[in-house]
Amino acid sequence: MKLQILGCYSATPRAFTNPTAQVLEIKGHLFLIDCGEGTQVQLRRQKIKFSRIKHIFISHLHGDHFFGLPGLLSTFRLLGRETEIHIYGPKGIKQAVTTMLKVGQAWTNYPLLFHELSAVESELIMEDDKVEVHTIPLKHRVYTNGFLFKEKIGERKLDIDAVLNLNIDTCYYRNIKKGKDVVLESGEQIANERLTLDPPPPKSYAFCSDTAYSEQVIPLIENVDLLYHESTFLEQHHDMALQTGHSTAKQAATIAEKAKVDTLILGHYSTRYKDLELFRSEAQLVFDKVELAEDGKEFVI
């Protein structure tokens, strides 16, 4: 699993900082999470193939989280894309995006499939045989969701020494990896546990976009490997966080501590702060494993 930060600052783009956008590589998927202005430029800078993006997740309809989407979809068209793309976001995203594309006569020549969200409880919004994605309802000034990405448990691994010692034919290997027992020619049944090893533990990533401090997310993100939680402000501006529906670094760390996550990534910084290490220092008073998001940075599990 690899997370690439395209942008991690709040509000307006600047010369060397970008609003929120991320790419998560998980089990062969390349998911785009939020799409602030400049996202397609950042994708090019990080040499991410546009054609691999088939699912886009938008947390909410504030401009610094989705104003880059119409331009990216238009570029897909110019590049001759034919593969369908799925967009998951709040109710209203379809009207917002399609209006811009129609007015600009840039309607896509590939299937554009919208999945509009309005539920206030967590729901499963995307699933295949390898990955599932759930919403994380957040507390912001407008309807907002974070997203929980979870790998499914993989196949058991073949213990090659065990199967060779028992002279098991290769034609059984596939069924063994699926968890089935084997019956030898002698009639002896060999339990699957003797022939396989446990698969790697499934990995998980939780993206908590713009949100005020809310302990309601804790049961949804408990024990995740990696948590991105917004930290727009430091505690000295706690009142501003409360007024605007955002969190402080200390509050993000408190959520990470209570949810028993492995690693916390801070982001969505207000540009009023010149030293990002202040965010790490504040958070580490509560939670030890703290990383700082930075434009262009990668995190690998």
The one-letter amino acid at 274: K
- Could you confirm whether 262 is annotated as catalytic? no
Determine whether the annotation assigns residue 246 to a binding site. Answer: no
Q: Report residue 61: phi and psi, to 5°.
A: -100, 35
For the chain, what is the largest distance between any 2 Cα atoms, rounded to a whole number of angstroms? 75
The reply to whether 29 sits in an annotated binding site is no
Which residue in the block uniquely carries the two structure tokens 């220092």? 281
From 64, 128, 129, 159, the catalytic residue = 64
Q: Does the annotation place 64 within a ligand binding site?
A: yes
**239 annotated ligand-binding residue:** no
55 is in an annotated binding site: no
Contact 242, 212 (CB under 8 A): yes
The tokens describing 270, both together, are: 């207000």
Known binder of ligand: residue 238?
Answer: no
Long-range pairs, 116-125, Cβ under 8 A, ≥24: 116/89, 116/90, 116/91, 116/92, 117/88, 117/89, 117/90, 117/91, 117/145, 118/90, 118/91, 118/143, 122/148, 122/220, 125/88
Enter the DSSP assignment of 281. Answer: H
Cα distance between residue 227 and residue 221, in whole Å: 8
Report the catalytic residues.
64
In the annotated binding site, the residues are: 60, 62, 64-65, 140, 210, 268
In the annotated binding site for Zn(2+), the residues are: 60, 62, 64-65, 140, 210, 268
